[in-house]
Amino acid sequence: MGERIIELKDIKKSYGRVYALGGINLHVDEGEVVGLVGDNGAGKSTLIKVLAGAVTPSSGDILIRGEVVHGWDAAKSRQFGIETVFQDRALAIQQTITRNIFMGRELTNALGFLRVKEQHKQAEKLMREIGFTSRVFSPDSIVGQLSGGERQGVAIARAIYNQSELIILDEPTTALSLTETEKVFHFVRQARAAGRSILFIGHNIHHVFDIAERFVVLDRGRIVLEASKAEMGSAEKLIGFMEEIAHPNREALFATAEARP
Amino acid sequence: MTLPDQTSAAAEPVLTPRHPDQTRLRRFLLDNRAAIGSLIVFIVMLSCFVIGNPGVFTQWQIYRAVLTTLPVVIFLVVPLVFVVTVGEIDLSFPATMCAAGWAFALGCQAGYDPFIGAIAALAVGLLLGVFVGWLVVYGQLSSLIATLGVSFMLRGLILIQTQGVSIAVVTVPQTLMYKTFSGDVFGIPAQSLWAIGFTIFCAYLYNRHRFGARVHVTGDNPDAAQQMGVNIKRVRVLCYVFMGLGSALAGIFSVLINFTWYPSAGDGYLLPSLASVFVGGTAPWGGVGTILGSAIGSLTVSFIQTGVVGVGLSGFYVQFFYGLIIILSLLGHRWNQVRYR
């Protein structure tokens, strides 16, 4: 296990009197794939948005490589090498693939004018690396013309650009075909082999279990379980645990959670 | 069970039989389809006028008349494309134009060099732009209503202060500023050359600059832009600041052309300028637009009045033709441009 890339310390987020996150302690190390699971409303999306800088936490600290970062926002998050593939993909669909890949970090000359050819070249290379294409396209194609899987490809290409250290994938396989899902998995393994860390969020426990090495289960804004793949044993056990959470008999459940290291 | 290896194809480079989008002519046509569309509208309209009255429309005089007054509209329409693309609207620019022109005229009247007056006018435009932008973005007011309010308030303040009296700046025609910006270059009004330069600069800013790129993505999907680290509030405010500066330039040019500042200056520009933006092919829903197209649109709109009278129809036909051209252009762009959702 490598160096600690990011660590959240007692992160809370409340909307009025409702706590979306009630004190989250989470860390991701270099080169590991962490699976984050939880039911609807568990706070997964809020947690991701905090990591991506799109939501400011009400309290708590965010540490990058052991140092507390102040004024955490989306620009800072990307600056520290954290890239997020959002569930809704966060694409501007009337714009070209190139413009989407370089959204928020355009390649420019000293006067701020775009280096159009360079961007075009880089975008083409990225799309080729991803291999997300069922038909011929160009980096100048409008994103609105692409299929769901291809749009996901654009979002992922944007995330791997510039040697990002941690890639957050928020339900990347939702609404994708089997082939496209397998491509996403292939990409995760590739990125992992290249030494990047991944935070993989999913509804499909089997998917998450296949891909991740460590699991974090979120329930009502709290982490109720952290376990490695070896500790967990099988996907069925994880599913069983998730079902227990949904079950009203909660005492037994928390006993199990606390028993884990 | 073993899955067939779906991913081996991913490693190979994509075989690219040339995509149709990649032939140069086609790319050019696709990139500029809205601008080309509005150019076609303009040419068709002009042809009708020439056929209607060849005697008038083959003479330079009538084009010169349009080129004298058109630049003022250009300085309003081009920044307005940025505001519309970012997903907002501005109705306060005629009042801003009037206020900036007032500062310019006061400077000239007080005996300062017109260049100093122009700096004062630009400062007024800048401050009003910041104010309107702040109100819309940080005050979170609807841009339609907020700018309407600012427009009335500003115009009211000007009327209260001046009691409706205009200012004549009789000394201006002798100055260097007039000769540079509103003189005569080989029979072409200088201001039209400045307007062309401004349009080309803004087209680059819009299509080939970081600011333009961020205006596009902010107007297209503000949430996505924010998640990717674009400061969408700043982008929006900057669009209004740019609009303020453009209005100030329009105010200065309008005084330079008329040698007079009127407290009602800019009043007649609101609807033609807004119409020009959309006649030119900028989409009303934000995210896409064209600077060149909208500049051509303003040429079309400006020509309607001159053309209708030149053909020999009475002035009563002008409004009807305004409406006809606007509706036909919008229908054309609707067909020409796909809206993705």
B341 domain residue, yes or no: no
d(CA A185, CA B143): 45
Contacting residues of B for A114, CB less than 8 Å apart: 208-210, 213
- With CA atoms as reference, report the closest residue to B287 among A159, A127, A103: A103
- Residue B41 and residue B332: Cα distance in Å, rounded? 9
Predicted confidence (pLDDT) at residue A259 exceeds the cutoff of 60: no
Does A73 sit within 8 Å of B340, measured CB to CB?
no
In this predicted structure, the answer to whether residue B234 has a pLDDT above a threshold of 90 is yes
* pTM of the model as a whole: 0.88
CATH code of residue B81? 1.10.3470
Does a structural domain hold residue B221?
Answer: yes
Task: Say whether B27 and A141 touch across the interface (CB within 8 A).
Answer: no
Q: What is the pLDDT of residue B56?
A: 81
Coil/strand/helix, residue A183: helix
- CB–CB contact B9 A53 (8 Å): no
**For chain B, what percent of residues have pLDDT higher than 70?**
93
Q: What is the pLDDT of residues A91-114, one digit of tens each?
A: 999 999 999 999 988 999 999 899
**In the prediction, which pLDDT does B131 show?**
96
Asked if residue B141 is part of any domain, the answer here is yes
The mean-pLDDT minimum among B8-17, B47-56, B90-99 falls in B8-17
Query: Is B334 within a domain?
Result: no
**3-state secondary structure (DSSP) of residue A5:** strand
Indicate yes or no: CB of B210 within 8 angstroms of CB of A93.
no
pLDDT tens by residue, A47-87 = 999 999 988 999 999 999 888 999 899 989 998 999 999 98
- pLDDT grade for A258, boundaries at 50, 70 and 90: low
What confidence category does residue A132 fall into, taking pLDDT thresholds of 50, 70 and 90?
A: low
* Residues B216 and A99: beta-carbon distance below 8 Å: yes
Distance CA B82, CA A128 (A): 33
What is the reported pLDDT for B100?
A: 96
Is position B242 within any domain? yes
pLDDT at B236: 96
Considering only CB atoms, B223 lies closest to which of A90, A138, A140, namely A90
Instruction: Check pLDDT > 50 for residue A5.
Output: yes
Give the residue extent of every domain in chain A.
28-56+70-81+164-261, 90-163
**DSSP letters spanning A192-258:** HHTT-EEEEE-S-HHHHHHH-SEEEEEETTEEEEEEEHHHH--HHHHHHHHHHHHSS-HHHHHHHHH
Residue with tokens 């500023």: B177
CA B82 to chain centroid: 8
β A222-228/A214-219 pair status: antiparallel
Per-residue confidence at B202, pLDDT binned at 50, 70, 90? very high
Q: State the angle between helix axes of B114-137 and B93-109 in degrees (0 to 180), rounded to the nearest 10.
A: 150
Q: Is residue B220 part of a domain?
A: yes
- Domain A28-56+70-81+164-261 sits in CATH at 3.40.50.300
Convert the pLDDT of each residue in B174-184 to its tens digit: 787 787 888 77
Contact assignment for A95 to B287 by CB distance below 8 Å: yes
* B135-166 residue pLDDT tens: 999 999 999 999 999 999 999 999 999 998 99
Give a yes or no: residue B165 inside a domain. yes
Rounded to whole angstroms, the Cα distance separating B131 from B144 reads 15
- State the residue range of the domain holding B274: 74-329
Domain count, chain B: 1
Residue B176 in tokens: 């260097």
pLDDT digits (tens, 9 = 90+) for B1-41: 344 444 444 444 444 445 555 577 777 777 788 888 889 88
- Residue A38: enclosing H or E segment and its boundaries? strand A33-38
Given a cut of 90, whether residue B109 has pLDDT beyond it is no
- Residues in chain B with CB shorter than 8 Å from the CB of A138 are 19, 21-22
Q: Is residue B118 part of a domain?
A: yes
> Per-residue confidence at A2, pLDDT binned at 50, 70, 90?
low
DSSP letter, residue B13:
P
Chain A residues with CB under 8 Å of B238 CB are: none
**Among chain B residues, CA nearest to A130:** B10
